């Protein structure tokens, strides 16, 4: 009765109505780490001081700090992985293109090694 796009939009979870947690890289993990960190530190602060409002403020601060820091760290690592993948892809493309030709760096090294042995 319903098409596939309708069920996809229902599965999607938007945080504050703007951040689609399912489709934004690193968003899900960052929100989970932030929520666990905020609950943990807020509860510890409450147990230590018995001040409800201040503990809530500490928990919210910890949520923002943990979420942002884990998101930046994850995005930084993803960017590094993409750079490494691009370098490997270029290397493979060059290897395929130059293999067996006179421009192949591996065949130049083989020729120089054979010449020095004689």
| pLDDT per position as a tens digit, 63-89 | 999 999 999 999 999 999 999 999 999
Distance from the first to the final alpha carbon of the chain: 79
Whether 91 has a pLDDT exceeding 60, the answer reads yes
Q: Which residues lie closer than 8 Å to 105 by C-beta, 6 or more apart?
A: 98
State the pLDDT at residue 26: 83
Q: Residue 95 — pLDDT band, cuts 50, 70, 90? A: confident
The average confidence (pLDDT) of the chain is: 81
Q: Indicate the pTM of the whole model.
A: 0.65
CB 31 within 8 A of CB 67: yes
CB 58 within 8 A of CB 49: no
Whether 31 has a pLDDT exceeding 70, the answer reads yes
Burial of 50 (0-12, 13-18, 19+ CB in 10 A): exposed
């Amino acid at each position: 009765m319903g098409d596939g796009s309708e069920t996809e939009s229902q599965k999607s979870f938007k945080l504050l109505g703007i951040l689609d947690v399912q489709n934004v890289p690193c968003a899900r993990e960052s929100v989970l780490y932030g929520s666990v960190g905020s609950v943990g530190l807020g509860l510890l602060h409450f147990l230590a001081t018995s001040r409800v409002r201040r503990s809530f403020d500490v928990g919210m601060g910890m949520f923002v700090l943990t979420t942002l820091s884990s998101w930046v760290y994850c995005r930084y690592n993803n960017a590094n992985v993409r750079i490494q993948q691009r370098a490997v892809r270029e290397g493979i493309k060059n290897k395929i293109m130059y293999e067996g030709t006179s421009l192949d760096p591996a065949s130049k090294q083989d020729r120089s090694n054979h010449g020095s042995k004689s």
